[in-house]
C-alpha cells in the first residue's frame, strides 16, 4: 500500500532531510524548537538536531527575518517560520528591500538563499489581521519566488527545492490542509532517489476536455471537488491545473490547457483586486485569445477583510458550488 502522510508531516520530512543533507540549513522562528512549532510542523526536530539547527527567536518578525536574511547572505540557508503569513508586514522592509533586491543590487555577487514559510489562508476564524493571503504581493517583486502547494506530496518536493534555491522563496501553506493526508512516496521508492519538485512547474491534477479550472493552494482541492460534480451531475469534463508555483510561473502548461479546452476559470482564495487571477486572465487572452469560446472567468475570496464569524467566513471563500455555477454559465 502506498504511504499516506499529512501535509504538516511532509513539510517536516523535507526539513529533516535537508538539515541532514546540508549543515548550513537552519530552522528559525517563534517556538520552532522545544514547543515544536505553532502548528507542530517542526515536531521532534529540536530533539533530533539540537539548538544549533532549530533556533527559537523572540516575538519580533522584523528582528528574526532580518537576522535570517543577513545569515543567508553569508552562506547559511535559513528556513524562517512565520506563525501567520499575515505578520510579513512587520518585516516588509527586510523582505522586499533587502531579500528581494540584494542579488540585483550587488551585481549577482551576493545571494539570499532564504525560505520564509507559514500559513497564508483564511477560513479558520482567526480574524482579518491573521487571515491574509499575500502571494500576489510577494510575487509582484522581481528577485523573490513564491510557492503555494496544494497537497502533501507537492509540499515536500517544493520545500526541498525551495531550500536549495539561491533566491528568497516565500513558501505559503494552509492551516486547513495541515491535517489532511496524501500519498507521498518514500525516498527509496523513487528512481531519482528523493522527491524534489522544481519551482516553476505546474501540474495537471485532473485531465479534461471541456473547461480548464486553474488554481493554486487549497483552491486546487475546491476545484477538484467542483470538477467531480461537473462530471457526475452535468457531463462536463473539467481539467484542473495546479500552478504550485506563482513565481516562477509555468505559463506553457496553463496556455496549453486552455488551448485544448477553450474555456477557463481561475480560482483562488486571494482577493480579486490585483490578484493572481487577473494576471493569468491577461496572459490567456493575450496569448491564446483565438482559442477561447468564452471570456476567462475568476472566482476569488469576497473583496473584504476576512470575516471573523464561523458561520459567515466560509461564505467568503470559493466553494465547489460557485465554481460549478460559473462553469455552467460558460459551457
Residues with a known catalytic role: 61, 130
* Residue 297 cell numbers, joined: 472567468
Asked if 23 and 161 sit in the same domain, the reply is yes
- CATH code: domain of residue 227: 3.40.50.920
Which residues, given as ranges, of the chain have pLDDT below 50?
A: none
- Interatomic CA distance for residues 257 and 202, integer angstroms: 11
Same domain for 166 and 27: yes
| Residues 156 and 242 grouped into a single domain | no
Which of the listed residues 189, 224, 246 is the one where a domain comes to its end? 189
Residue range 150-187, pLDDT digits in tens = 999 999 999 999 999 999 999 999 999 999 999 999 88
Domain boundary among the residues 189, 216, 234 is at: 189
> How distant, in Å, are the alpha carbons of 146, 149, 167, 281 from that of 201?
12, 12, 17, 18
Query: Angle at CA 228, nearest 5°, toward 221 and 283?
Result: 60
- Give the pLDDT of residue 191: 74
Residue 187 is predicted with a pLDDT of 84
Q: Same structural domain for residues 45 and 134?
A: yes
Residue where one domain finishes, among candidates 133, 160, 189 = 189
206 close to 240: Cβ distance less than 8 angstroms? yes
- The CATH number of residue 105's host domain is 3.40.50.970
Q: Are residues 84 and 174 in the same domain?
A: yes
Split into its structural domains, the chain has a count of 2
pLDDT at position 1 is 63
For 44, the domain range is: 4-189
pLDDT score, position 171: 98
In a domain, 98, yes or no: yes
Residues 160 and 250 in one domain: no
Same structural domain, 138 and 252: no
Helices and strands, number each (H, E), in the chain = 12, 14
- Do 219 and 301 fall within a single domain? yes
Are 218 and 184 in a shared domain?
A: no
- Same domain? For 123 and 169 the reply is yes
Amino acid at each position: 500500500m502506498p504511504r499516506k502522510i499529512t501535509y504538516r508531516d511532509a513539510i517536516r520530512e523535507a526539513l529533516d532531510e535537508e538539515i541532514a543533507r546540508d549543515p548550513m540549513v537552519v530552522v528559525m522562528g517563534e517556538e520552532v524548537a522545544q514547543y515544536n512549532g505553532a502548528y507542530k510542523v517542526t515536531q521532534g526536530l529540536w530533539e533530533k538536531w539540537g539548538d544549533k539547527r532549530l533556533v527559537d527567536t523572540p516575538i519580533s518578525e522584523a528582528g528574526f527575518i532580518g537576522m535570517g536574511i543577513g545569515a543567508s547572505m553569508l552562506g547559511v540557508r535559513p528556513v524562517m517560520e512565520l506563525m501567520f503569513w499575515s505578520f510579513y508586514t512587520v518585516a516588509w522592509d527586510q523582505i522586499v528591500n533587502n531579500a528581494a533586491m540584494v542579488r540585483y543590487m550587488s551585481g549577482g555577487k551576493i545571494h539570499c538563499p532564504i525560505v520564509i514559510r507559514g500559513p497564508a489562508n483564511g477560513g479558520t476564524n482567526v480574524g482579518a489581521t491573521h487571515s491574509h493571503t499575500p502571494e500576489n504581493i510577494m510575487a509582484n517583486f522581481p528577485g523573490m519566488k513564491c510557492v503555494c502547494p496544494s497537497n502533501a506530496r507537492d509540499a515536500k518536493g517544493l520545500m526541498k527545492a525551495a531550500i536549495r534555491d539561491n533566491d528568497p522563496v516565500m513558501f505559503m501553506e494552509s492551516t486547513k490542509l495541515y491535517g489532511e493526508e496524501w500519498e507521498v512516496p518514500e525516498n527509496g521508492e523513487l528512481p531519482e532517489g528523493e522527491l524534489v519538485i522544481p519551482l516553476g512547474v505546474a501540474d495537471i491534477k485532473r485531465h479534461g476536455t471541456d473547461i480548464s479550472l486553474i488554481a493554486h493552494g487549497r483552491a486546487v482541492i475546491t476545484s477538484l471537488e467542483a470538477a467531480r460534480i461537473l462530471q457526475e451531475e452535468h457531463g462536463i469534463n473539467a481539467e484542473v491545473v495546479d500552478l504550485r508555483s506563482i513565481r516562477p510561473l509555468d505559463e506553457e502548461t496553463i496556455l496549453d490547457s486552455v488551448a485544448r479546452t477553450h474555456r477557463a476559470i481561475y480560482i483562488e482564495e486571494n482577493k480579486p483586486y490585483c490578484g493572481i487571477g487577473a494576471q493569468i486572465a491577461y496572459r490567456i487572452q493575450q496569448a491564446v485569445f483565438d482559442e477561447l469560446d468564452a471570456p476567462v472567468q475568476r472566482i476569488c475570496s469576497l473583496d473584504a477583510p476576512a470575516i471573523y464569524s464561523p458561520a459567515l467566513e466560509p461564505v467568503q471563500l470559493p466553494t465547489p458550488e460557485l465554481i460549478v455555477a460559473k462553469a455552467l454559465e460558460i459551457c
